Amino acid sequence: MQYIKVDEALWASSMLPEGILERWFIDSGDDIEAGERIAEVRIEDALHEIVAPAAGRATIVATANAVIEPGSILATLESQSV
pLDDT digits (tens, 9 = 90+) for 52-82: 999 999 999 999 999 999 999 999 999 876 5
* Fold assignment, 2-78: OB fold (Dihydrolipoamide Acetyltransferase, E2P) (2.40.50)
The residues pairing with 21 across neighbouring beta strands, listed in sequence order, are: 41
Q: How far apart are CA 20 and CA 43, in angstroms?
A: 7
Task: Using a pLDDT cut of 90, give the percent of the chain over it.
Answer: 77
Give the separation between CA 36 and CA 26, rounded to whole angstroms: 10
Pseudo-torsion of CA 10, 67, 5, 34, nearest 10°?
-90
20 vs 16 pLDDT, higher one: 20
Alpha helices in 1-82 (DSSP H): none
Contact between residue 4 and residue 52 where contact means Cβ atoms under 8 Å apart: yes
